[in-house]
Structure 1
Amino acid sequence: MKCDVVRDLLPSYADRLTSGESNREIEKHLKTCEHCRQYYQEMTGEVPEILPKADVKDAALLAGMKKKRKRALLAAAIVIFILAAGGLWTFIGYSVGSSNVLVEDVKLSYGLKDNVAYLTLEPKGGELEFDGFTEKIKDSSGNIIGTRTRLKVQRFRKGLFVEGSMGWESEIEGDDHICEWVLEFSDKTLTIRNGELISEKDTSSLPQD
């Protein structure tokens, strides 16, 4: 058979619609014609059983390489999608943010090391915006015995690529010196004095500004 005749018959051959005699002629031609074998493989995506062993091995290797390439492209597409989605989420979360900031949104560390009180806030997947001020603490005689810093959380901006940990330190000047931080969240107000939590007030039921 000539190549053009074989190629006309290959669709019917692939669907097993050709006669036994035609099948033998087609298979005989495919054994000797590399171009028609390649045409058959591209048309069906399969490796015909009539191919010589060496050709079957090469064709199977080529098919495996194509599958690996498809998997690699799919994996790359998934990674790109995840990064794009994460970037969009970060942009939206960071641009808008949330004014409803809970204590659980923050990893809080505090304590006293030697004579220095410290406080560290690590937002979970974002950064915080504060509004606050520091005032002097006086005793009944008007003497300054310490400082009180009030920090009200205004907004929590979330994002995959946003980090905003912050910390404070204050030296304790004597046994009677007071270093106090008052942290106002949407659900609780915490008071930390000289590295210890002395008050935790539930404010979730109070009207928010």
Structure 2
Amino acid sequence: MKLSCEVIRDLLPLYFDKVCSNDSSSLVEKHLAECPQCMKELEKLKMDIESPKITDGEVQLMKNISTKWKKDRKSSFAKGSMLISALAAIICFVSYNIIGAEVLPDGTLVEPFALIPIGYVFLLVFIISTICNLIISRKHKANTY
């Protein structure tokens, strides 16, 4: 059975990756033995995969993008932790005031006191995140100039 060059060219990537069936491989090998054009296509496929053409400018561009992503990731983390901790602190303090305190008939005071120190912990995290964000932004500005 004689296959056209177009069919063989469709099978060449699978043949090169060794993922086609044994029957398909044998058909491709028979065709390659008789067809120098398809053999050149297989060689092109090998060269494209083995030696990608990347210029120095493209390498430098990717390094610049990678560096910017790393800086942005740190800044985004600091800003996100600032926002979350500020919201959590506000929620703790507001919840404490909404829930309120009550005195039981036996004279015991019942209040959600744990919300106060938790709120202060979140406030501390907010302050630390703000300081980290300021440091990161100053370093970023210093590296930009």
Question: Which one scores higher on RCO, CA 8 angstroms, separation ≥ 6?
Answer: 2
Q: Same fold (TM over 0.5)?
A: no
TM-score (normalizing by structure 2): 0.36
Bigger Rg, structure 1 or 2: 1
